[in-house]
Structure 1
């Protein structure tokens, strides 16, 4: 049947006619602070197109994406295989979300995920990473009969209330208490603190990121094996949050594979979407799943209206196929090692560089106080205005002068985080190396253009603080 609405409703025309209003619309109806921040740091270039690992602005300039939507675009933007899969679903007129039925695509995606994680048995699908965390909390309480949940300092597991209760960064929690009762924080990489907490035998689950997204903090060599042993000893579930680290990001399908450990639950999201349709997944042992869905009258005791929708399932299946056929895990390992080796030499050459850490294509370059007098004075003045402000002196010229999109690893952090699509090429790595070398070298010249930028940023921060006051 002909749809008359298609004759006058045209998204392409809407985009074209209202593009000039992009930032004004967001200022008026959405997040004004986001627009102010973009304009302050010069990121308001109005990106028009994304292909693979590249963005293109309204002038047609090409940018290299080292942010990948916080890890969503592991296979790059607008991958033709994902688009074809979604188009196929739309054209098939499938009876999507019948609810009183099950879908073939969900069964296939669950089967293929568990092929990569063969020690787990069941999959629960959700709509996002934070929904996966919320589900895992419920599953853990349901199977253990315990209420308390353990998480790490500096952890990030999402921003809904259960997930926020497991957030180790006060920035995200401020003003939003109280939180889920029974949630307790322990230091990351501290097995003694973990055992003291677990010894109460009241902890249902310990949630941990193998590599923390906020700061790119990597588990010590013996930490996750110790976590596995202690959780088994005290009857606590080991939940690995691989929402950012999973699906090849670190050069293995799961980051936990680097330490040869098997969690009781694995949380996935972000990259599984293919960059188009949100999805989250909880992979778990059979006994955990069946403790919740244990009778027919409890078949829907937990769920989400749009979970297992055919578009999300198709996007997940296409993403797994791309990761396999294009050998993106292997590419992440190879290109990540190249960049890690390159940045590893920075600390020897540049006194502002403290260390590099990470695995695969999840890399953190940390800066720290310099030793020479002029640099130390400039650093101290800048950091006295706002901790972590120095990293903007690297991020902004990377963007403006070298067309690289990057991010600071956390609030008040001195670490710049690289999280590019997993399909970056040798030429892209050369682009990254030359750009960072140029900008970091410039940062060691006092006085210089970068430190003039620092004075401007500091003044903006002061004005903003006075206005907020």
Structure 2
């Protein structure tokens, strides 16, 4: 297929995107998008912005669940990938080693001088799978400890340490030996580790589902407990890493040096999937301990030249454009603005986050009129209120955002790290306007709520 034919094909079939997905892919996802009015038919993306069929501009605070930290179609990444394609490199020889993979590993380890080795994978979930496997191989133990409400991926090993039943239920037996403990609960963690049968404790430094920030001593003391009981400490920085929280790694906020660090999402540059497990040499050498075990774990496409080049280009952009510093600066501004809203609006319960990973949690109001409407929504479907915020944000203010998890009362902001003061002003006035509308009963927001309740009740009746 030529570039011209591809452009023609896209032009001819773009109007069929939802019917194609409904017939051949995930029909339920199409129904969700159409029900909440998110079927916008975006035509192009540039930086932090999306553009629809009418060329209207939207500010993307979802960034592909964190993939587009550099924004969409960053010219440095795009030009680097074109250069790789034009170079006719001997890609994936397999019985050879990749120069680009070696360089990317070297670059990543400069950010974590306490770690020594890198294993590359194709995704975040695959990185989790490798880390769990390495931990068991290195310790000779089977046990794995994870936190409630955690999210580490949806493949079977990752699913076994996933703290949300909505993803786990209905898929049969998962990995044996997995123990859930509450996030931020050191006593529960020590109780789980005390048997000295646990290979690893895997934790998100800031939990993505709900943007839950740990107590100041939690990660540091958790690491000390892992050291005490011989358990490997795995930091899942797949969403929090690469500058998202205003530090290169979120663990840096608390001075923690994990035994393994997992990266993915942003490392792709938004183009080529890639994941990485950064680990200590002692762990790596116990897995790859003899020449006949040199291929005891691997992944066919993991060190492909396009992925490695995308990772290198991403690191260059992060450094050259000072995106870690920008995330810290823009995040401080937005969090302060949201904290002001929490003081003015009774529906805003709490603001959490670091850098450009921000959670805005809503809670039951005090006033009687609002409380009655809130309770109606909660009875129909827990967490439904947040849709009264995200839907008008998109429809009226052209801001794309998301609820932070199933049945959650938290809206999560995960914008590209390139956003500027103008974008922050757009975010602040839009959220302020929508939240203010939500405090007017009756009003347009609560009329929308009535419609959502009716839809939820019809869906519940259909399932019954």
User: What is the TM-score when the length of structure 1 is the normalising length?
Assistant: 0.98
C-alpha displacement at 1:13, in angstroms? 1.0
Matched, 1:288 2:286: no
Matched, 1:430 2:425: yes
1:153-168 aligned at under 5 Å gives the runs 153-168=148-163
| Equivalent residue, structure 2, for 1:412 | 407
| Equivalent residue, structure 1, for 2:146 | 151
| Equivalent residue, structure 2, for 1:334 | 329
| Equivalent residue, structure 1, for 2:37 | 42
Q: Deviations over 1:78-106 (max 9, x none)?
A: 00000011101101011111000001100
| Equivalent residue, structure 2, for 1:118 | 113
Matched, 1:379 2:374: yes
Matched, 1:450 2:450: no
Q: Distance in 1 between matches of 2:336 and 2:342?
A: 11
1:1-40 aligned at under 5 Å gives the runs 6=2, 10-40=5-35
> SS of the counterpart of 2:42?
coil
1:28-177 aligned at under 5 Å gives the runs 28-177=23-172
Q: Distance in 1 between matches of 2:265 and 2:6?
A: 25
> SS of the counterpart of 1:21?
helix
Matched, 1:259 2:254: yes
Q: Among residues 380, 384, 392, which one is paired with 2:387 in the alignment?
A: 392
| Equivalent residue, structure 2, for 1:181 | 176
> SS of the counterpart of 1:366?
strand
| Equivalent residue, structure 1, for 2:213 | 218
> SS of the counterpart of 1:85?
helix
> SS of the counterpart of 2:200?
strand
Matched, 1:302 2:303: no
How many pairs are equivalent?
A: 464
Q: Distance in 2 between matches of 1:115 and 1:397?
A: 44
> SS of the counterpart of 1:88?
helix
Q: Among residues 184, 199, 205, which one is paired with 1:204 in the alignment?
A: 199
Q: Distance in 2 between matches of 1:441 and 1:115?
A: 47
Q: Which runs of 5+ in 1 are unaligned?
A: none
Q: Distance in 2 between matches of 1:76 and 1:89?
A: 21
Query: Cα RMSD over matched residues?
Result: 0.8
Taking a change above 3 Å as real, the CA distance of residues 6 and 373 of structure 1, as seen in their structure-2 partners, is closer
Q: Among residues 451, 455, 462, which one is paired with 1:460 in the alignment?
A: 455
Q: Distance in 1 between matches of 2:377 and 2:164?
A: 23
C-alpha displacement at 1:6, in angstroms? 3.6
| Equivalent residue, structure 2, for 1:315 | 310
Q: Deviations over 1:179-213 (max 9, x none)?
A: 00111100100000101111100000000000000
Q: Distance in 1 between matches of 2:49 and 2:315?
A: 21
> SS of the counterpart of 1:211?
coil
Q: Distance in 2 between matches of 1:177 and 1:192?
A: 30
> SS of the counterpart of 2:39?
coil
> SS of the counterpart of 1:55?
strand
Q: Distance in 2 between matches of 1:405 and 1:338?
A: 19
Q: Distance in 2 between matches of 1:207 and 1:381?
A: 38
| Equivalent residue, structure 2, for 1:236 | 231
Moved over 3 A (4+): none
C-alpha displacement at 1:348, in angstroms? 1.1
Q: Distance in 1 between matches of 2:321 and 2:421?
A: 15
| Equivalent residue, structure 1, for 2:340 | 345
C-alpha displacement at 1:388, in angstroms? 0.2
Q: Deviations over 1:10-47 (max 9, x none)?
A: 21111001011110000100011111111111111100
Q: Deviations over 1:265-308 (max 9, x none)?
A: 00000000000000010000001111111111111110001000
C-alpha displacement at 1:463, in angstroms? 1.1
Q: Distance in 2 between matches of 1:344 and 1:177?
A: 43
User: What is the TM-score when the length of structure 2 is the normalising length?
Assistant: 0.99
Q: Distance in 1 between matches of 2:223 and 2:351?
A: 27
C-alpha displacement at 1:177, in angstroms? 2.1
> SS of the counterpart of 2:173?
coil
Q: Which runs of 5+ in 2 are unaligned?
A: none
